[in-house]
């Protein structure tokens, strides 16, 4: 595939193609890409080629930021030179697979720099994400001293143990993450670092940890979730000292409606990402009221790992994901009618979580053609969008992907009423 020559852009409205420079001034559009790659030399070459190919495809459709979700319960995927055990232990969850197993491996800092440079040449920013204080089984398997002291504490096993968290009262954890963040900040030129903050199972950890409860009483907090203020207060101090801007997933005081407030007091310099299905309108209102910048990633529209059609389910590890069709993604209005304003909305995020994705062909199959619909939803005002027009214009884009050998899901359901010429 040619990197830029002859690439096909998505028209914002009939008859008009938008210039690259104009796009760069309008929105920031994120694609979260969290593949786990193998590390032997032959597969290393393929890994790097696949990531760069994905970036090339992003550029074609005006995606200009790639967010790499580098740490989670399933593995630690970035080399930290001060703590080599993070990848020696934390990057391997399949004991039988060795360094060639599809569930094992990590990016060296040299590999990441290569990706960062390649993306920068194409005006794509790479943002790292290190998810804390939950989604931390991989790091806690390496540093069990950072765990909460719960009555039911069990051995942490990467890829199997979930619902564990860093202890809010343990200074060791903050010191280790200061070192980690220092290396990450030096490696990534992006002004932003994403710190997760989602799905913290507080009731199973901080609520049951005697040290956390003592800290809660000392600080005068009413709820254990208030400890998030203390936890991120310390983490964000480090991030600011490193001259970086923090991003967090937006969590509210309930997992679904009814909810009426943030989970904790997000500082105004934190950009929040709305992601929970059904809660985005409230996140939109709260961020507008509090002054937090907002990135739109509602699960019902923008989660590209969800099945695209009835029966088109992941081959394995399917947890009952809801269906998000191509047309549903196209219906997405990032401003939600503009009821709570638009000025604080920084952009749109499409997420592609890889628990149920084994190879690169499946990555592009899940990302496209919904990635086309999401790009147009992000860049085009609702009054300039029509589903019929999009269906007509999708054909040459799909033909180009076929010529380039890109795997994608053929949207048979829309071709029953429209035939590509």
**Do 37 and 43 meet the contact criterion of CB atoms below 8 Å apart?**
yes
Nearest residue to 296 (alpha-carbon basis) of 313, 321, 276: 276
Q: Is the peptide bond before 275 cis (omega within 30 degrees of 0)?
A: no
| Token digits of residue 278 | 């059904």
- pLDDT for the residue 321: 85
Write the pLDDT tens digit of every residue in 240-278: 999 999 999 999 999 999 999 999 999 999 999 999 999
β-strand partners of 129 = 69, 194
- For the domain made up of 20-415, give the CATH fold: TIM Barrel (3.20.20)
CA distance 245 to 193: 6
Q: Under 8 Å CB-to-CB from 420, ≥6 apart: which residues?
A: 395, 398, 399
pLDDT at 216 over 80: yes
Query: Catalytic: which of 103, 179, 198, 199?
Result: 199
User: How is residue 34 annotated by DSSP?
Assistant: -
Show the CA angle centred on residue 237, arms to residues 84 and 161, nearest 5°. Answer: 45
Active site residue 383: no
SS3 314: coil
Q: Which residue has the higher pLDDT, 128 or 94?
A: 128
Show the CA angle centred on residue 246, arms to residues 87 and 88, nearest 5°. Answer: 5
pTM for the model stands at 0.89
Q: What is the largest CA-CA distance in the chain?
A: 70
204-218, 263-277, 342-356: range with lowest mean pLDDT: 342-356
Active site residue 69: no
Query: Catalytic: which of 50, 56, 72, 305?
Result: 72
**Do 8 and 391 meet the contact criterion of CB atoms below 8 Å apart?**
no
Mean pLDDT, residues 40-52? 74
Q: Is the peptide bond before 133 cis (omega within 30 degrees of 0)?
A: yes
What pLDDT band is residue 159 in, cutting at 50, 70 and 90? Answer: confident
- For the chain, percent of residues with pLDDT exceeding 90: 72
Query: Catalytic: which of 56, 73, 79, 135?
Result: 135
- pLDDT for the residue 21: 30
Mean pLDDT, residues 356-376? 91
Q: How far is CA 15 from the centre of its chain?
A: 33
**Do 198 and 135 meet the contact criterion of CB atoms below 8 Å apart?**
yes
364: enclosing H helix or E strand: helix 360-367
pLDDT at 161 over 60: yes
- pLDDT for the residue 418: 57
User: How crowded is the C-beta side of 246, counted as CA atoms within 13 Å?
Assistant: 27
Active site residue 199: yes
């Amino acid at each position: 595939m040619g990197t830029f020559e002859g690439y096909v852009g998505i028209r914002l409205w009939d008859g008009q193609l938008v210039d690259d420079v104009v796009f760069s001034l309008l929105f920031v559009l994120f694609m979260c890409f969290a593949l786990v790659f193998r590390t032997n030399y032959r597969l290393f070459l393929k890994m790097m080629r696949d990531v760069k190919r994905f970036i090339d495809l992003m550029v074609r459709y005006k995606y200009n930021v790639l967010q790499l979700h580098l740490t989670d319960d399933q593995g630690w995927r970035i080399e930290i030179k001060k703590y080599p055990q993070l990848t020696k232990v934390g990057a391997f969850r399949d004991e039988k697979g060795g360094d060639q197993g599809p569930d094992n491996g990590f990016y060296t800092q040299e590999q990441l720099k290569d990706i960062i440079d390649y993306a920068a040449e194409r005006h794509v920013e790479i943002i790292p994400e290190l998810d804390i204080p939950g989604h931390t089984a991989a790091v806690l398997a390496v540093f069990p001293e950072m765990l909460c002291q719960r009555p039911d504490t069990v051995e942490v096993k990467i890829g199997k143990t979930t619902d564990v968290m860093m202890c809010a009262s343990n200074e060791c954890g903050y010191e280790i993450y200061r070192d980690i963040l220092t290396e990450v900040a030096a490696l990534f030129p992006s002004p932003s670092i994403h710190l997760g903050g989602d799905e913290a199972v507080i009731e199973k950890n901080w609520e049951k940890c005697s040290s956390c409860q003592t800290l809660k009483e000392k600080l005068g907090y009413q709820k254990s979730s208030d400890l998030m203020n203390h936890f991120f207060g310390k983490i964000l101090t480090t991030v600011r000292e490193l001259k970086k801007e923090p991003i967090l997933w937006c969590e509210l005081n309930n997992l679904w409606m009814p909810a009426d407030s943030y989970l904790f007091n997000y500082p105004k310099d934190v950009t929040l990402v709305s992601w929970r299905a059904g809660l985005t309108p409230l996140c939109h209102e709260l961020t507008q009221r509090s002054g937090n910048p907002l990135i739109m990633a509602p699960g019902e529209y923008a989660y590209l790992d969800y099945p695209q059609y009835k029966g088109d389910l992941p081959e394995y590890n399917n947890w009952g994901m809801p269906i998000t069709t191509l047309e549903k993604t196209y219906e997405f209005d990032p401003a939600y009618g503009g009821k709570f304003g638009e000025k604080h909305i920084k952009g749109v995020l499409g997420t592609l979580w890889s628990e149920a994705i084994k190879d690169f062909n499946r990555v592009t199959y899940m990302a496209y053609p919904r990635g086309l619909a999401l790009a147009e939803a992000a860049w085009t005002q609702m009054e300039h969008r029509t589903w019929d027009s999009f269906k007509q214009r999708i054909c040459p884009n799909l033909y180009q992907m076929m010529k380039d050998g890109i795997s994608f899901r053929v949207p048979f359901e829309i071709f029953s009423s429209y035939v590509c010429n």
